[in-house]
Amino acid sequence: MARKAFSRQRIRERQTRELAARLASFAWRLRANIRECLAHGASPELAALYQQAKAEIQSDLATADFADLLAQVFVSCCLLARYYQEAQESLPDSLAHLRTLPALPPFVRNLLVTLQPDGPIERSGSENRVGELMAFLARIDIHALLDTCRVPCCQENPLISFYELFLGIYAPWQRSQRGVYYTPAPVTAYMIKAIDELLRAAFGYSSGLAGALQDGLVQLHV
């Protein structure tokens, strides 16, 4: 019984890695489509989004980096929409619901509008990458696959650790550049507890880490 359970777990892990590789492939091709559209001026909406990114994110943002940003964010948003998709709604409807969230940054909302199925990218004559991605995600059992990324003793969202797996395939050099390395919750909890106890015992700081953060003795960088 235990051997069968272990075998099923290994199969799920392999399928999860295959999912990350498939999504990375979609992102690569979507990135190429975006760069092509920008180079040929095929989409005024995409050009406007590029100018918005330069105004809000980085003034000297290169078109290659912009295409990379859009591809990663869009694939991640589609995955998020699929993960939280209600039983009675379609994936495009779930993605449309995501666009209405009040806390969603304006750039991301405009990105989702620009890259939506039958949107400016696909109308520009590019291959149907967006529709292909949506159809693929709609067919898979996303919860069964991503649950292999969940830390057993925690309630961490498996999307967090899956993104590290995805980025390791899509652009492995960006993991070190951007510091995208998932730290399991038990390790984080231990580190926080150890620092708290060290401040109290070695430095005589009775309020521990919470007090040190409030007083500016310790700075937290995210």
Per-residue tens of pLDDT for the chain, all 222 residues: 556 555 666 777 888 889 999 999 999 988 888 898 888 887 888 899 999 989 988 888 899 989 988 888 888 888 888 988 888 888 888 888 888 887 778 888 888 888 777 666 666 555 567 888 888 999 988 888 887 776 554 556 787 778 878 888 888 765 555 554 444 454 455 456 656 666 666 566 677 766 666 666 555 544
Residue 71 confidence (pLDDT): 87
Query: pLDDT value at position 164?
Result: 79
For the whole model, what pTM was predicted?
0.70
How many CB atoms lie under 10 A from the CB of residue 70?
25
- How would you label 33-56 residue by residue, b for 16+ Cβ within 10 Å and e otherwise? bbbbbbeeebbebbeebbeebeee
Distance CA 19, CA 22 (A): 5
**φ, ψ at 6 (rounded to 5°):** -65, -40
Which residue is associated with the tokens 């760069």? 35
C-alpha closest to that of 81 among 99, 68, 108, 106: 99
Q: Name the amino acid, one letter, at 13.
A: E
Task: Quote the CA–CA distance of 179 and 167 in Å, as a whole number.
Answer: 11
The whole-number pLDDT of residue 11 equals 74
- The reported pLDDT for the residue numbered 212 is 64
Dist. CA 164–CA 215, nearest whole Å: 34
